[in-house]
């Protein structure tokens, strides 16, 4: 039998590879009984259904396009033309603007069903732009200028931003360290006159956000992020912090909102470890997968996640979430996940009776395949 062919190729360096992912979620959100909201209780959804294509082009170029299909619509996630010369990679098109470790880590490889509360809250998203990335040894430097997401990029949109990030990632034997920082500026220009920061209770199948700044007048955003991670065999530790400062119009005081998380995880199955590649968390490849006499990899994780949307007169609320996850990875491309979260709110945007301080439990399961 001929050897398997995993990608299409033409002589000279042209190639084509398809890829995709499918995540199916279910679970429940239990809030105080005095909150009546049809989005609470049981929920389920196809969280992500994506298909993409990527490949190489003769001369050092490459391309990547990825599409997300959800609820009757389609969104372009990545649409990139790249060029690699030595240690430098240039990218033009829609791509991630170096927001931080967890945002840049694929959703296929995160420790919990949803990323840290601050990532969506502060509107992290891919945008159209031009960037350079320089990586050599343990050092990574990234920077770019961006306009807006394709979906928002109509002819009248003249918003723009600039982003920079630096990472050092020394590896000492089995011990992988990762430390980084980033800074982000975004000028809203005529595209919008307000921002709104809000967040779900750690699961996505609900649309109820207990913390929410509402629309606040804004001219620009300035964000700072710090990130830290360590992997040593079955154990990993990671955490990030992010400050988002909003420049409000005129003489209004500028609030600074804050989010962060700290996480520890451990593999119960011997020989398994969290993947790390390209300065991001990567695929877990079980040492003893299902189908080869093994049971796959089993990992437990615990996380504290904090998001504070109250500052300078804006009362968006504070969410403190304590979560545990159990992840079963039968084989390289499949994953089943169980999440439980206890979310504690202060100054919540939704009142439970007359109280803005209460707790919400979130429970979720996910079935995942990627290819």
Which of 18, 170, 217, 313 binds its own copies (CB under 8 A)? It is 18
Using CB under 8 A as the binding rule, whether residue 271 contacts its own copies is answered as no
Other C-beta atoms closer than 10 Å to the C-beta of 316 total: 26
Q: Which is nearer to its own copies, 80 or 284 (CB)?
A: 80
Q: Residue 121 phi/psi, 5° resolution? A: -55, -40
- CA–CA separation, 95 and 77 (whole Å): 7
Length of the chain: 371
- CA–CA separation, 225 and 241 (whole Å): 6
3-state secondary structure of 281: strand
Q: Which of residues 39-78 bind its own copies (CB under 8 A)?
A: 39, 41-46, 49, 51, 53, 55, 57-61, 63, 65, 67, 69-76
Q: Which is nearer to its own copies, 176 or 208 (CB)?
A: 208
Which of 13, 135, 181, 233 binds its own copies (CB under 8 A)? It is 13
Distances (CA, A) of 12 to 56, 58, 59, 88, 278: 10, 6, 9, 22, 26
Q: Which is nearer to its own copies, 140 or 297 (CB)?
A: 297
Q: Which of residues 118-157 bind its own copies (CB under 8 A)?
A: 128, 147, 150-151, 153-156
Q: Which of residues 195-214 bind its own copies (CB under 8 A)?
A: 205-208
Using CB under 8 A as the binding rule, whether residue 293 contacts its own copies is answered as no
Q: Which is nearer to its own copies, 54 or 279 (CB)?
A: 54
Is the C-alpha dihedral spanning 130, 136, 138, 139 positive or negative? negative
Using CB under 8 A as the binding rule, whether residue 193 contacts its own copies is answered as no
Number of residues that bind its own copies (CB under 8 A): 80
- Containing 79, the helix (H) or strand (E) segment is strand 73-85
Query: Least CB distance from residue 262 to its own copies, whole Å?
Result: 29
Query: Least CB distance from residue 310 to its own copies, whole Å?
Result: 25
Q: Which is nearer to its own copies, 86 or 190 (CB)?
A: 190
Report yes or no: 212 and 345 within 8 Å, Cβ to Cβ.
Answer: no
- Containing 166, the helix (H) or strand (E) segment is strand 160-168
Q: Which is nearer to its own copies, 285 or 346 (CB)?
A: 285
């Amino acid at each position: 039998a001929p050897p398997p062919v995993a990608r299409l190729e033409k002589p000279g360096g042209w190639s084509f590879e398809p890829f995709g992912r499918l995540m199916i979620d279910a679970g429940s959100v239990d809030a105080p009984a005095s909150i009546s909201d049809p989005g609470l209780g049981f929920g389920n959804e196809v969280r992500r259904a994506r298909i993409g294509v990527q490949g190489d082009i003769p001369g050092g170029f490459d391309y990547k396009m990825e599409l997300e299909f959800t609820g009757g619509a389609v969104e372009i996630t990545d649409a990139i033309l790249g060029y690699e010369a030595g240690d430098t990679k240039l990218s033009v098109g829609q791509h991630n603007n170096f927001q931080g470790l967890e945002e840049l880590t694929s959703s296929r490889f995160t420790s919990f069903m949803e990323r840290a509360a601050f990532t969506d809250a502060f509107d992290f998203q891919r945008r159209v732009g031009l960037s350079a990335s320089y990586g050599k040894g343990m050092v990574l430097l990234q920077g770019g200028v961006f306009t807006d997401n394709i979906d928002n990029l109509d002819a009248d949109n003249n918003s723009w931003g600039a982003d920079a990030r630096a990472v050092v990632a020394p590896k000492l034997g089995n011990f992988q360290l990762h430390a980084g920082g980033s800074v982000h500026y975004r000028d809203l220009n005529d595209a919008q006159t307000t921002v709104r920061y809000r967040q779900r209770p750690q699961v996505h199948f609900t649309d109820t956000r207990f913390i929410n700044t509402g629309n606040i007048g804004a001219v620009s955003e300035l964000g700072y992020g710090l990130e830290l991670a360590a992997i040593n065999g079955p154990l990993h530790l990671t955490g990030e912090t992010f400050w988002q400062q909003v420049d409000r119009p005129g003489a209004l005081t500028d609030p600074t909102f804050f989010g962060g998380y700290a996480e520890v995880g451990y593999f119960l199955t011997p020989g398994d470890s969290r993947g790390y590649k390209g300065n991001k968390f990567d695929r877990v490849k079980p040492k003893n997968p299902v189908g080869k006499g093994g049971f796959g990899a089993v990992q437990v994780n615990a996380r504290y996640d904090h998001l504070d949307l109250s500052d300078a007169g804006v009362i968006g609320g504070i969410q403190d979430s304590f979560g545990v996850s159990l992840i079963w990875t039968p084989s390289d491309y499949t994953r089943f996940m169980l999440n439980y979260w206890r979310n504690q709110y202060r100054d919540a945007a939704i009142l439970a009776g007359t109280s803005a301080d209460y707790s919400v439990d979130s429970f979720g399961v996910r079935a995942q395949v990627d290819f």
